[in-house]
């Protein structure tokens, strides 16, 4: 028998009902974390914690891609409220949407370094 499963089935109805009544709609949150699930997008987000504003060309150089690929990832981050953009002349600059995003990136990175997190494959 698996060590991470109960040996018998016993549902604690009160606890289940209490939790179920308090769980909100999580579809937007799931979409939010999906944006974090891509290593390239995470690299972009992390880069924006170091340098507050980067143009698309800078991001392409950082991630080692074309400007079209960088632009695609940046647009995805913007569309999911993780980044915002502004134009300066002929260049488009991106930055993190707000301090919450920066905190999430830094906290997630720190957690991943603790060793109790998922080991690299």
How high is the pLDDT of residue 119? 56
Q: What is the average pLDDT across 45-63?
A: 98
The domain spans of the chain are 28-113
Q: How far apart are CA 14 and CA 98, in angstroms?
A: 39
Question: Two tokens at 33?
Answer: 């974390």
The fold of the 28-113 domain, in CATH, is Arc Repressor Mutant, subunit A (1.10.10)
- Going from the C-alpha of 29 to that of each of 24, 25, 26, 50, the distances in angstroms are 10, 8, 5, 25
Confidence of residue 113 (pLDDT cuts 50, 70, 90): confident
Tell me: pLDDT of 106 over 70.
yes
Tell me: pLDDT of 118 over 80.
no
Its pTM stands at 0.82
Q: What is the average pLDDT across 4-15?
A: 88
Range scoring the smallest mean pLDDT among 29-38, 67-76, 95-104:
29-38
CB-neighbour burial class of residue 47 (10 A; exposed 0-12, middle 13-18, buried 19+): middle
């Amino acid at each position: 028998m698996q060590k991470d499963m109960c040996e018998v089935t016993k549902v604690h109805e009160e606890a289940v009902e209490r939790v179920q009544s308090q769980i909100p709609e999580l579809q937007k949150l799931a979409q939010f974390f999906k944006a974090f699930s891509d290593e390239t997008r995470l690299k972009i987000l992390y880069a924006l914690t170091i340098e507050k504003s980067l143009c698309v060309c800078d991001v392409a150089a950082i991630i080692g891609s074309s400007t079209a690929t960088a632009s695609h990832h940046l647009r995805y981050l913007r569309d999911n409220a993780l980044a915002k953009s502004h134009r300066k002349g002929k260049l488009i600059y991106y930055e993190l949407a707000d301090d919450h995003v920066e905190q999430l990136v830094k906290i997630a990175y720190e957690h991943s370094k603790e060793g109790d997190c998922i080991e690299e494959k």
